[in-house]
Chains A and B, each alone.
Chain A
Amino acid sequence: MAAAAESQPVVLTESPAARIVRYLARTPVYLILAFIGVLWLMPTIGLFFTSLIDPSVIGREGWWEILSKPSQATFENYRAIFDNEQITSSIWTTLWISLGGTIIPILVASLAGYAFAWLEFPGRDWLFLVVVGLLVVPIQMALIPIFSLYNDLGLFDTILGLVLFHTAFGLPFAIFLLRNFFIGIPRDLLEAARIDGASELRIFARLILPLGLPAIASLAIFQFLWVWNDLLVALTFARDTQPITVAIFSQLRQFSANIELIAPAAFVSLAIPLVVFFAFQRYFVQGLLAGSVK
């Protein structure tokens, strides 16, 4: 209809020369991006090659040496990790903790974000400021009081305890992001829905959530990552229920370089977050809002 017609590119009168110029103008962008991309990846590539180096050689020479001696590459470090039962069994635990610690905050924060964006009640903006202000509280501040609390409640060393802690600390940022995002939704949509008599809950579920998908997707990625890679919280509140970070950490010998453990561990641990990233990033699709107005 009208929207479809508008999105047709208008190139009918472009001359071949102009088209070539347009492509040329794009190439530097590609080049620059490619260059930056490679540079950005270098440290990670370096770490990957380091994970392939024999432990007795690590730290003696730069990782790039291995490019000239490919036969010296070894998967020994990775084997050591997979042989370690403490580490492999921790992967499931990590998954549960991360899923819980991602889904719950998203639900809770979406509700709160909508309330701060589009519900009207006195004191709303001040309350919002306070919530955002809580972003400041460093986790260290909560460790000891919550430790005692968990002891009394029997939540110590449980997956639930960890999930709830991560949820709480993920909320300030999540609410901040979602509220600021929801605010960008055109008022007319909400007006129309309210005039039609829809309840707030319905508006929330049918309108806000779908429109807010890009933000929710990016939030999911970060929250998942944050919980998956967390070390401090799990270290404090769990003893036997270990996520992978703790499992690896407890193998770190106090007086050892430990690179032969950290490097492969980083990549083993990387696999699942990357999957999450790929799964969610396709929601960053342009024009999600276009056309839905009608």
Chain B
Amino acid sequence: MRHRSVVAALVALLAFAAAGCGGGGGGNEGAKGNENVSGNVSVMAIWAGKEQTSFQAVIDGFEEKYPNVSVKYTSGGDNLAPLLSTAVEGGNPPTLAAIGQPGLMADFAKKGAIKPIDNLRDKIVDAFGEAVADAGSVDGTQYAVMYKGANKSTIWYNVSTFEEAGVEPPKTWDELNKDRDTLLAAGITPYSVGVDVGWPITDLFENVYIRTAGPEKYDQLAKHEIPWTDPSVKDALKIMQDVVGKSEYMAGGTDAALQTEMPASVGKVFTDNPDASMAVLGDFAPGVTKTTLEPETGYNVFTFPSIEGSGPSVVGGGDLFVKFKDSPAADAFLEYLTTVEAAEIWAKRGGFSSPHKDLDVSVYPDEITRTVAGSLADAAKENSFRFDLSDLQPSAFGGTPGQGLFKLFSDFVAKPNDIDRITQQMEAAAAKAFK
């Protein structure tokens, strides 16, 4: 009697509260009810300088919609991963962070450092497609929103060198080799290679492998269901010799390639006095160097050519936003990142590719970005987008300078004929990491 009414009142109260939370939290499109969400959110990522300004604009757009939430961004620069690891160990991580390696995300998930965001999965799939959504999940649980994407299946070139040698951007690998030989005959070094700590070479491998072995085998290799000594891997390495196999193919020779950092290797091409003609690098290339050359007239890009008749595919990467500390404000921000508005703000400023399916490519500031970002979004739609393989590996194997894939691919450039030994070492390292 009295009890029942008390219980009823309590239930009503709870229902009210739940509705209130749900309404003010992540459930609404549009501007309504967004004053209910309040709090502070701290965000960390690698973006600094120009990119930081752009991301700040995105934050401003969010704060307009959610005026009671204050977002503070701190750049971690080069040091983001160690910073986050230390912060996690010490118990004081930021609310959100954007990381580039799914491997690191998986590590954090296993430790319980990041919170699942399964409630956002539907929105993510709606916006970016299954493949991209999967990139942000670990063992079936959603942990991240991939807001910014990178297309790594591109090759950049210096236009004047192509004109001087009389070559055209190739569509197939055979054409690329022929172009390379013509450039050599014209006295122009074909490739500018910066081995850096090794990761640019892993990108080359992944682009070749997905085309020679196909996306299914790519997935198998990523999960270590086939070994690195598989013939398909060796075949891919043989094809890579067409780029890094001979010292004369690379600016400064093999020695210089081994000592050059990635931005410097781009600088050698993006100049009016180039040391080499092409740089086999992803869509970030123009953003890492200051150049006086103009896009399309000075430097340009073509998509990674098909090999032995392979279909179009994109190997890429992205920045994955993960959540360390739960709060409605954090959820609101993550949800905002799945909207077209959020993508548009940065897209208009350049230096940004969004995997968003509904983003109109005309908002990108130039033709090059439109091509590159467009092909990324298309691949996302078609499910022929694959995340950078080395980023999918456990970080000890796939993401640490000085060991694992980074080191072994660097060794490959130093000794490109040592395919058997190097693949054996790769398999040994992989076995250790996947134990």
Contacts and interface: CB of A to CB of B under 8 A. Distances in A.
Interface in A129-187: 143-144, 147-148, 151, 156
Given A147-B86, A249-B78, A250-B77, 6 more contacts: A59-B267, A60-B271, A147-B89, A253-B51, A254-B77, A254-B78
10 contacts: A59-B264, A60-B267, A143-B86, A148-B90, A156-B92, A250-B75, A253-B288, A256-B288, A257-B263, A257-B289
Given A55-B290, A56-B291, A60-B271, A251 B77 contact: yes
A252 interface: yes
Contact of B48 (A143, A239, A252): A252
Interface of B: 46, 48-49, 51, 74-80, 83, 86-87, 89-92, 261-264, 267, 271, 273, 284, 287-292
Contacts of A143: 86
Given A59-B264, A257-B263, A257-B289, A252 B90 contact: no
A250 B267 contact: no
Interface of A: 55-56, 58-60, 143-144, 147-148, 151, 156, 235-236, 239-240, 249-257, 260
Interface centre among A56, A147, A251, A260 (most CB of B within 10 A): A56
Nearest to B94: A239
Contacts of A251: 48-49, 75, 77
The 3 lowest CB-CB distance pairs between A and B, nearest first, are A147-B90, A55-B290, A255-B288
A235 B264 contact: no
Contacts of A55: 290
B90 A250 contact: no
Given A56-B291, A56-B292, A251-B49, A256 B90 contact: no
A9 to B, nearest CB: 57
A235 B78 CA distance: 12
A252 B78 contact: yes
B267 A151 contact: no
A251 B51 CA distance: 10
B92 A147 contact: yes
Contact of A235 (B83, B267, B271, B291): B83
Contact of B79 (A235, A253, A255): A235
A57 to B, nearest CB: 9
B77 A151 contact: no
B89 A254 contact: no
Contacts of B86: 143-144, 147, 236
Contact of A254 (B46, B87, B271, B273): B46
Contact of B77 (A58, A144, A236, A252): A252
Contact of B264 (A156, A240, A253, A257): A257
